[in-house]
Structure 1
């Protein structure tokens, strides 16, 4: 009798153990096949700003290589006229750089939102080259910061100063990448393809060597103001009425002009008419990192959180200091 009871218990335990094995097997199969693969793209809802900055530098430099390689073999087209009546030029170099930069970002972070000046190019994923970068030698220890992926918006300008590119005025030409977090520009990269130099900044963290503030910089005798070569609007006449003892510098490329301010070579970059946010985002980040400011001409902060809102229609004031003194001048 006792032996029969023991056998019954053993049989019951065996069935329970078998059921547990079956349940565990089902759970394991579900984990392996029903769920998404475990990888950085699906599980990492936090994203490294250090990785984003390095990617932005590589992207700007990669786009710049295509800009240089196409300089003697490109086609020119037009997107139409600007509000000022100037031709809005686009070239095959713009699209080549766009695809190169987009591929760099999408290779590193497949699901990031990237807003570009050029949207019509059909880009195929290609191999991403990575030649030596200023990043590799000039950055020291950096304390990383992680942000929510859904708060990140990338803005790229594959070829700033396209008109000047067609005229071989290469000193104005840049490729730019910018990372905004919750609408605020945090990482900015401005690359000069023809001189192979790159300026970059991470707000509150680190700057490229060329942007580190110079000690004992001399004050300028005249107030130097830089304005657009092709989109100046009525700004020259307005400044002549509102300011004295100033020098007006006419130049192309929003990136070029923003860096002139960042390096202390001019006092202000002023723009009276509408301007696209991919033109200003990188320069905005650089100036913020240096303690400067970039706002609309009515002193409103420029927001970079909405890809569908790509145009700032309220002009621009960019400075390293004395920002308020340039408001209301035009």
Structure 2
């Protein structure tokens, strides 16, 4: 499977249709529910996922798909070297709260690495995509290449979760003498890094692979990187573990300089 522009365009179409379903649900109103892990879910999550699964079955028949709602319901196909990770509505808490910081996400994983991805913010129409070589922001039908920010270690900017900010994050940002912090929900944190709006995004605690795959693909293609809390590159497809398809935290960086500042602080270089 080659993640070329035709392939990306097909993924983008899937995200657009899923986004339309989400906005339709928001317009007519909905009730939030709780899943078995106590996280919120809505009709919009399920409707968007159904659309994406239908598209992927046509785009890449036979390729396994790990999708959030299906996985939570106990449906997890066996994965091999190539599979999709889908988060049909990342930022459900933001969606429920009436904010626009929610996204549709499709990531393609090949041998543990995100090689293509699409992130759409339906409420604003902003879309980002990447293959293994370039990342783009789409505007008015045109693709604008993204190149990450060149870090100044003495005046770094961080992006942090609106819903999952914790003392560990605050402690790290203080230790690195971060000058400013942008709070935002969903996978938009990755796109801010890819666009050059910030230098790093720390996330402590458990997070699922479908939450990061598409944004990670975009960040890597824009020149950034993402690693675990011990400074090792994160991998995808961790099915054969006690907590499958989960990360135990990570730090994302817009540049090698930003990553080096973190590694130096942690005495990992």
Q: TM-score, normalised by structure 1?
A: 0.68
Aligned residue among 48, 71, 86 for 2:26: 71
Aligned residue among 187, 194, 197 for 1:262: 194
Q: 1:218 to 1:224 in 2, by over 3 A?
A: closer
1:155 aligns with 2:155: no
Aligned residue among 94, 97, 115 for 1:186: 115
2:140 aligned partner: none
Q: 1:287 to 1:245 in 2, by over 3 A?
A: closer
The 3-state SS of whatever aligns with 1:60 is: helix
5 Å-filtered alignment, 1:216-235, equals: 222-235=155-168
Q: 1:95 to 1:245 in 2, by over 3 A?
A: closer
The 3-state SS of whatever aligns with 1:111 is: coil
Equivalent-residue separation in structure 1 for 2:11 and 2:18 (angstroms) = 11
Q: Deviations over 1:99-139 (max 9, x none)?
A: 011110012333110011111679xxxxxxxxxxxxxxxxx
Higher helix content, 1 or 2? 1
Equivalent-residue separation in structure 2 for 1:184 and 1:74 (angstroms) = 36
5 Å-filtered alignment, 1:91-106, equals: 91-106=42-57
The Cα of 1:284 is off from its aligned counterpart by 1.1
Note the residue ranges of structure 2 that are not aligned, 5 or more in a row.
138-142
Note the residue ranges of structure 1 that are not aligned, 5 or more in a row.
1-46, 82-86, 123-148
1:175 aligned partner: 104
The Cα of 1:80 is off from its aligned counterpart by 5.1
Aligned-residue RMSD, C-alpha: 2.7
The Cα of 1:290 is off from its aligned counterpart by 1.5
1:21 aligned partner: none
Equivalent-residue separation in structure 2 for 1:324 and 1:220 (angstroms) = 9
Equivalent-residue separation in structure 1 for 2:88 and 2:265 (angstroms) = 32
Q: Deviations over 1:236-262 (max 9, x none)?
A: 441365232522222211x11011111
Aligned residue among 16, 40, 51 for 1:61: 16
Question: 4+ runs of 1 displaced by more than 4 Å?
Answer: 216-221
Aligned residue among 220, 243, 246 for 1:311: 246
Bigger CA radius of gyration: 1
Equivalent-residue separation in structure 1 for 2:209 and 2:94 (angstroms) = 20
